[in-house]
Structure 1
Amino acid sequence: MEYRTFLVKTLEDAAHIARDRFGKVSSTTKVGDPTQVVTEADIEIGSMIVEAIQQTYPTHNIIDEETGSVDNRSPYTWVVDPIDGTSNFAQASPLYGCMLGLLREHEPVAGGFALPAFHEIDTAERGQGAYCNQQRLQVQDGKDLCSVLISYGIEGNQSDPMSTRSECELFTELVLACRGVQTSGSVFDAAMTAKGVYGGFLYRDCKIWDNVAQHIVLEEAGVLYTDFFGQPIDYRHPLTKATTPFGFCAAPPAVHGQLQQMIATWKKQSAWAFEK
Structure 2
Amino acid sequence: MTDTLAKFTADITRQASRLVSRRFGRSGVKYTKENRADVVTEADLAANRLLVQAIKKKFPSHGIVSEEQPDWQKDAEYLWLVDPLDGTRNFSTGTPLFGVMVAVAKNGVLQHAAIADPPNGKLYLAQRGRGATCNGKPVHCAATKDWVYSYGCTGAGLRANKLASLQRLIASAAREPLWLSMFGSAAVAAMYVADGRRDWAFSRSSGGVWDYAAGVLLMGEAGCTVTDMDGKPWTLASTSLVAAVPALHAKLLSLVQPQG
Q: TM-score scaled by structure 2?
A: 0.90
2:227 matched to 1:226?
A: yes
CA shift at 1:228, angstroms? 2.5
> 3-state DSSP class of the match of 1:249?
strand
Letter in 2 for 1:203: S
* CA RMSD across the alignment: 2.0
Give CA deviations for 1:162-181 in whole Å, capped at 9, x if unaligned: x5553441241355545511
For structure 1, the residue ranges without an aligned partner over 5 or more in a row are 237-244, 272-276
AA aligned to 1:183 is M
Cα pair distance change 1:171/1:185, threshold 3 Å:
farther
1:169 lines up with 2:171 in the alignment: no
Corresponding position of 2:240? 247
SS in 2 for 1:209: helix
Does the residue aligned with 1:146 lie in a helix, a strand or coil?
helix
Please give the alpha-carbon distance, in whole angstroms, between the structure 2 residues aligned to 1:20 and 1:204.
Answer: 32
Q: Decide whether the 8 Å contact of 2:124 with 2:134 is kept in 1.
A: yes
- The 5-angstrom pairing of residues 112-261 of structure 1 reads 112-141=114-143, 143-157=145-159, 161=160, 165-173=163-171, 175=173, 177-186=176-185, 187-206=187-206, 207-235=208-236, 246-261=239-254
Measured in 1, the distance between the counterparts of 2:40 and 2:69 equals 12
Q: For the residues of structure 2 that align with 1:113 and 1:225, how far apart are their CA atoms?
A: 17
Per the TM alignment, residue 39 of structure 1 is displaced from its structure 2 partner at its CA by: 0.5
2:122/2:135 contact within 8 Å kept: yes
Q: Partner of 2:141: helix, strand, or coil? A: coil
Structure 2 gap ranges (5+): none
Secondary structure of 1:110's counterpart equals: strand
Per the alignment, residue 47 of structure 2 pairs with: 45
- Judged with a 3 Å threshold, the aligned counterparts in structure 2 of structure 1 residues 15 and 174 are, in CA distance, closer, same or farther, namely farther
Deviation at 1:154, TM superposition (A): 4.7
SS in 1 for 2:38: strand
Matched to 1:254, the amino acid is A
Classify the secondary structure of the residue corresponding to 1:34: coil
Kept in 2, the 8 Å contact 1:199–1:251? The answer is yes
User: Is the CA contact 1:150–1:178 (under 8 Å) kept in the aligned structure 2?
Assistant: no
SS of match in other structure, 1:114: strand
TM-superposed deviation, 1:138: 1.8
- Asked if structure 1 preserves the Cα contact closer than 8 Å seen for 2:115 and 2:124, the reply is yes
Q: Contact (CA 8 Å) 1:155, 1:205: kept in 2 or not?
A: no
CA distance in 2 between counterparts of 1:94 and 1:258 reads: 31
Q: How many residues align?
A: 255
* Cα distance in 2, alignment partners of residues 6 and 36 from structure 1: 29
Report the AA paired with residue 220 of structure 1.
E
Change (3 A) 1:178 1:193: farther
Q: Residues of 2 paired with 1:30 and 1:131: CA distance?
A: 34
Q: CA deviation at 1:246?
A: 2.2
The CA deviation at 1:185 is 1.5
Return the alpha-carbon distance in structure 1 between the equivalents of residues 189 and 158 of structure 2. Answer: 19
Shift of residue 229, structure 1, vs aligned partner: 2.9
Identity among equivalent pairs (%): 26
Instruction: Give the TM-score, by structure 1 length.
Output: 0.85
Confirm or deny: 8 A CA contact 1:153 1:204 kept in the other structure: no
Tell me which moved more, 128-137 or 179-188.
179-188
